[in-house]
Amino acid sequence: MKKTDVLVIGAGPSGTIAAAMIKNAGLETMIVEKLKFPRFVIGESLLPRCMESLEEAGLLDAVKAKGFQEKFGAKFVMNNGDICDFNFSENFTEGYTWTWQVPRAEFDKTLADACEAKGIPIHYETEVIDIQIRDDESSLTTVRYLDGSEEQIDAKFIVDGSGYGRVIPRMFNLEKPSSLPARQTVFSHFVDKNRDQVAQEPNRITIYVYNETTWVWCIPFSNGITSLGFVGYPSFFEEIEGDLDQKLDYLVRSHPELNERFGDCEKAFEAREIKAWSATCEKFYGKGFVLTGNVTEFLDPVFSSGVTLASVSAQNAAKLVIRKLKGESVDWEKEYMEVCMKGVEVFRTFVTTWYDGHLHAIFFSKNQNEDMRRQISSVLAGYVWDDENPFVRSHYKHVHTLAKFVKETQGEIVYTPIEQAVKS
């Protein structure tokens, strides 16, 4: 049997940030990770706010040394060619004005290696299969190794950062349906051999509006690879003939700008799909455990909020776990769940108004108000806990009021789908 103060499940960003902070505070921690690293996971565009979490955990320098593609803003391109470009240097909220675009296999391995360098043991290819919480909140976790053998880990507290594995919500029946409809992506990594020929800022992350309900991410990495993914309703992809590779090829060819850049590029791997990613659960904490990252709530990829919400939740959870193990009392509802949900709700407003067209109206409106642009840019940088920002404090009201004003004064956004045939 192994013994530790805090058992962390999962070596994604939320697990490694939590473990690093707990270790920095002088507590013993270990990570159990189901897979062998490096492993693929989606979620390649970071937001500036996550830099603060990486910094506080003492993991930022390790990432800096890797030379990942720097990201200074985000560009949105409407399907009529209109452009809306946010620069994080113009943000309302003070903080980081840049971050990275990262192949997650390498990024997550960097964080995990930095944790090991701090003396945190990581047990790879080790899957949590059972957890028993005792009355005193300590626990006995059963893990299974690759060879089928099992072992138990005795811990004073558990941090569940198992991402899409959702270990504790599944085990303890905490799962709750998401309020968002199921969407799908078809994506791959492209060998971006034409990048040098792109006239303007070829390394900038760009979100293309493909049609009213479908959009595309284009995330260039520093290694010459670019991640390209279409996101829409499953019915949109079903209507396109062929296997996933053929669907993705067809979609790239149907978009003039993407076709010019990627039409003749090889894929680094065959097209993949992910479906129905939105998930949430009843409670982000319980007797002897706290949930961090995607296990808590994951909304949607459109604003690249996932890793940042994962990092900030891990940062906050770790501080509370440290306090708890030092014998202080913690109000998990108020100090943790409400704080997590505050950030999630701001992004929920932005995600839902992206899909209902309100944000399109705002982003692509003419004569934008510079103050509001800065406030919106701060949200897109992940600064979603800054109550000084009206688009954080009363996000729903501000987004809806501004969209209404724009639509009344400039007319509704007119969609001119590039591939109407695909949509209909």
* Residues lying near ligand FAD in the complex (CB under 6 A): 9-15, 32-35, 41-46, 127-128, 161-165, 167, 185, 274, 277, 293-294, 298, 301, 304, 306-308, 310
When the beta carbons of 9 and 322 are compared against ligand FAD, the nearer one is: 9
- Rounded Cα distance, 18 and 295, in Å: 14
Cβ closer to ligand FAD: 158 or 406? 158
- The answer to whether 212 and 415 have CB atoms below 8 angstroms apart is yes
Q: Find the angle CA(71)-CA(42)-CA(355) to the nearest 5 degrees.
A: 80
Task: Pick between residue 294 and residue 375 the one whose CB is nearest to ligand FAD.
Answer: 294
Nearer to ligand FAD, 268 or 372 (CB): 268
Nearest residue (CB) to ligand FAD, 23 versus 398 = 23
Radius of gyration of the chain (CA): 22
Q: Sort residue 125 into left (φ over 0), alpha (ψ -120 to 50) or beta.
A: left
**Cα 372 to Cα 133: distance, rounded to the nearest angstrom:** 48
Based on CB atoms, which residue is closest to ligand FAD, 282 or 331? 282
The pair of three-digit structure tokens given for residue 348, joined into one six-digit string: 């929920």
Residues 6+ apart with CB under 8 A from 94: none
Shortest gap between Cβ of 298 and ligand FAD (angstroms)? Answer: 6
Least Å from the CB of residue 196 to ligand FAD: 24
- Supply the minimum distance, in Å, between the C-beta of residue 221 and ligand FAD: 12
CB of 22 to ligand FAD, least distance (A): 15
CB of 378 to ligand FAD, least distance (A): 17
Q: CB of 126: closest distance to ligand FAD in angstroms? A: 6
Neighbouring residues of 390: CB distance < 8 A, sequence distance ≥ 6: 375, 398
Asked if 205 and 220 touch (Cβ cutoff 8 Å), the reply is yes
Task: Give the residue among 7, 330, 342, 30 at the shortest CA–CA distance from 167.
Answer: 7
